[in-house]
Structure 1
């Protein structure tokens, strides 16, 4: 094989459509924009404009409310905790708190706290201490012989 024999796989690259390059190209003269009018000109945006009529987005009433002090939880499922214990990334004998979940890589960051949900199964006896948990998750952990305590999240000092 020589340098002049190298080539890309067929279909891996597509040639760019060159508009306004003569009548023979099929996209010459007006470059597919038609004749005259606002849409044929450059630098014009007419997204929601309805010819002077009140636009739909302004005719409809505003709905809803965004709570300014809403908490956003980092969510962890019991099945994911069980997988990390089996993989040896989390020690089931020691207490599993939010810091352990972050250092193991199961959760990227705590946000306003970590909340445990009951998706998946856990067979090991574990002691979990997190900010929040669903009732089903608490029941599932206790059924496996473990404990799940919910503590108020401590605000990080320098985050």
Structure 2
């Protein structure tokens, strides 16, 4: 099973950017830990971080051609602004879990609206880096429960 992990704008600054909100782990640290969890589950990961919306959209389209079975997506600020990213997810039909390190519902009002949530199979927020592993386990569990 292949899972795509996508991280949007400014997530390359993890460990530096507002550690009181996002923690001290770098994105590389998070993805290393996620890779270990994936290996234990027999899952192959493909990871990409981009500060550019179109790059993320192109990678989602490519995932469809590669028969990727799930997407873990932390869209960063694009969560609240990108209809195009939402449409890419809806268009390819790949089960997607939206992940946020912080509890977006306990922050500024604008962060509470997600264009992604209506086309995702679930949203995980507020559990820090653990949210990525929870998303991975949810996608693997979904596959196992459907027998695919």
**Taking structure 2 as the reference length, what is the TM-score of the superposition?**
0.28
Higher RCO (CA-CA < 8 Å; seq separation 6+): 2
Structure (1 or 2) with the greater helix fraction: 2
**Taking structure 1 as the reference length, what is the TM-score of the superposition?**
0.27
Structure (1 or 2) with the greater strand fraction: 2
